[in-house]
Amino acid sequence: MAEATSAPAQPELNRAIGPKLLLFFVIGDILGTGIYALTGNVAGKIGGALWLPFLIAFVVAFLTAFSYLELVGKYPRAAGAALYTNRAFKIQFLTFMVAFAVMSSGITSASSAALAFGRTYLQSVINEFFSDTFTVSATLVAILFILGLAVINFRGVSESVKANVVLTCIELSGLVIIIGIGIYAIAAGDGDASRLTQVDPAPGQSALVAITSATALAFFAMVGFEDSVNMAEECRDPVRIFPRAMLWGMVVAAVIYVLVAITSSLLIPADELAKSGSSALLRVVQVGAPGFPLWVFSLIGLFAVINSALINMLMASRLIYGMSRERIIPKVFGTVHPFRRTPWISIIFTSGVAIILVSTTDIAKLGGTTALLLLVVFTIVNIAVLVLRKEKVGHKHFRAPTWVPVLGVITCAYLASPLSGRPGDDYLIALYLLAAGLVLWVINRLVHGKVEFDAEKLSK
C-alpha cells in the first residue's frame, strides 16, 4: 500500500449552483452531438419509426437516473460512478475500469463530435459561402479539431454554469428550428404520417432486433445526465434539488428529441435520412424550409458539437490526471505544466487516442461505442445502488423503488449485450480502449505494487 503523504487542507468547492442552473446544466449536457450527428444512422437501423428508439432510450436512461439520484442523495460528492462502484464492491480494479470506461466514453464522444464538425457542419458552411466543389478532408479537419481542443484544454478552460445557460440556449435553438419546421409542414399538409409506424428491419433481422439495435445507438443521445452528479459539491442543498432538476431536465431533452425525430420522419423517407448520415438534420431543414438560410443551422450545429467535444475532452483528461494522482496509473500522467497549471501529459494522451479514433473509425461506430461503455457503467451503478442499501447514512435522501434499479440492470445489460443487435465493431473499439487502460494498470502495479485509492478524488 502506498504511504500516505501530508498535504495542505484544501478549501471546499463554492456551492454556487441553484435549482435553475442545475436544470440548465442537465439539459445542456444531454443536448449536443448525439441528435445532431446520429439521427440518420438511427433511421437506417429502424426505418420511419425513428421516434421509437429515442423514446425507449429515454425510458432506460430514466430508470438509471433514479439510481443516480439515490446515490448522489446518500453521497453528495463528486466522482460519480467510480465513487459508487468503490463503495459498493470495494474492488480497486473494478473501480479503476469503471473510471477508465467513463474516460473512454468521453474520448469516443468527442471523436464523434470531431467527425461531425468536419464531415457535416463545417462543409455546409463552406458550401454556402464558397462553392459546392470546394471540399475539405473530414478526417484532416477532425484531427485539427482535436488538436485545437487540446490547445484550449492546455491553456486552461474554466466554464461556469452560467455560461452553460447561454450554450444550452444556442444548442436548443437549432432543435427548436427543426420542431418549428415540423409544425409548419403539418399545418401546410406536407409530410407522410404513415412513416411514423414503419419498422424496416435489415434482411434476416427481426423487428425486435431492429428496434433494440436502433435504441442501443440512440442511447448515445440521452447520455450526459450522469455528469451532473459530479457537480454535487458545487450545488446548494444537492439532496433536495437534484431529483427535480435531473428528472425534469431529462424529460425536456426527451420531448425535444422525440419531436425532432417525428419531424424528420414526416418530411423525409428513412432510407434518404440514412444516406444523409450525420447531415440528416441539414436535409430536414432543406426539405421542410427551403427558404431558411442553411448556414445558420450549420453554425448552430458547429457550436453544439464544439461544446460537446470540449466538455468531454476536459473530463477525460482530468480523469486520467486524477487516476495518476491516486497512483493507479503511471504518475507521469499527473504532470502539471508549471505555467499553465494544466495536466499536459494527460491532455496529450487523451488527444492522441482521439486522433487515432477519428482517423480509423466511422462516426456511427464511435457513437455506438460511447453508448456501449456507458451502458456497462450504468449496469454496474444500478447494481451498486442495491448493494449500498445496507449502508445507512445520517440524513434523509431520495430512495428509488426497488424495482426501478432492478429493471435498470436488465435493460442496460440487454442493450449492452450482443442480443440487442449491437455490431461487433462497438465491442472491438471498446476492447481496445479498455486494453489500453489495463496496460497502464499493469505497468503501475509492476512499478509501485498494489495501491489503494480514494475514488472521491478522481474528479477533483
SS (H, E, C) 235-263: ECCHHHHHHHHHHHHHHHHHHHHHHHHHH
**Predicted pLDDT at 425:** 92
Residue 7 lies in a domain: no
- Distance (Å, rounded) from C-alpha 44 to C-alpha 273? 7
CATH number of the structural domain spanning residue 329: 1.20.1740.10
Do 69 and 381 form a contact (C-beta atoms < 8 A)? no
Residue 13 lies in a domain: no
- Distance (Å, rounded) from C-alpha 290 to C-alpha 67? 45
Residue 64 main-chain phi, psi, to 5 deg: -65, -30
Residue 17 main-chain phi, psi, to 5 deg: -100, 120
- pLDDT(6) > 50: no
Do 115 and 358 form a contact (C-beta atoms < 8 A)? yes
Q: Which of 157-166, 181-190, 449-458 has the highest mean pLDDT?
A: 181-190
Residue 10 lies in a domain: no
Do 218 and 53 form a contact (C-beta atoms < 8 A)? yes
Q: What is the mean pLDDT of residues 352-357?
A: 94
> Which position has the grid cell 449492452?
416
User: Poorest-confidence range of 79-83, 207-211, 277-281, 362-366?
Assistant: 79-83
Q: What is the mean pLDDT of residues 364-372?
A: 90
The mean pLDDT value of the chain amounts to: 84
Model pLDDT for residues 151-176, shown as the tens digit of each residue: 887 876 454 445 556 777 888 898 99
Q: What DSSP string describes 118-137?
A: IIIIHHHHHHHHS-TT----
Q: What DSSP string describes 394-411?
A: SS------THHHHHHHHH
Q: What is the span of the domain harbouring residue 52? A: 19-391+398-457
Residue 1 lies in a domain: no
Of 373, 72, 92, nearest to 246 by C-alpha is 72
Q: Give 392's contacts (C-beta < 8 A, 6+ positions apart).
A: none
- Distance (Å, rounded) from C-alpha 175 to C-alpha 183? 13
- Distance (Å, rounded) from C-alpha 71 to C-alpha 224? 17
**Predicted pLDDT at 427:** 95
Model pLDDT for residues 272-325, shown as the tens digit of each residue: 999 988 889 999 998 988 888 888 998 888 888 887 787 788 778 877 887 777
Model pLDDT for residues 397-426, shown as the tens digit of each residue: 889 999 999 999 999 999 999 999 899 999
- pLDDT(4) > 60: no
**Predicted pLDDT at 335:** 85
**Predicted pLDDT at 164:** 57
Q: What is the mean pLDDT of residues 87-92?
A: 88
Residue 156 lies in a domain: yes
Q: Is 171 left (phi over 0), alpha (psi -120 to 50) or beta?
A: alpha
Residue 3 lies in a domain: no
- Distance (Å, rounded) from C-alpha 274 to C-alpha 271? 5
User: Poorest-confidence range of 206-220, 224-238, 239-253, 349-363?
Assistant: 224-238
- pLDDT(12) > 60: no
77 pLDDT band (50/70/90 cuts)?
A: low
- Higher pLDDT: 16 or 105? It is 105
Residue 47 lies in a domain: yes
- The pTM score is 0.84
Residue 313 lies in a domain: yes
- Could you give the number of structural domains in the chain? 1
Burial readout 347-383 (b: 16 or more C-beta within 10 A, e: otherwise): bbbbbebbbebbeebebbbbbbbbbbbbbbbbbbbbb
- Distance (Å, rounded) from C-alpha 378 to C-alpha 67? 9
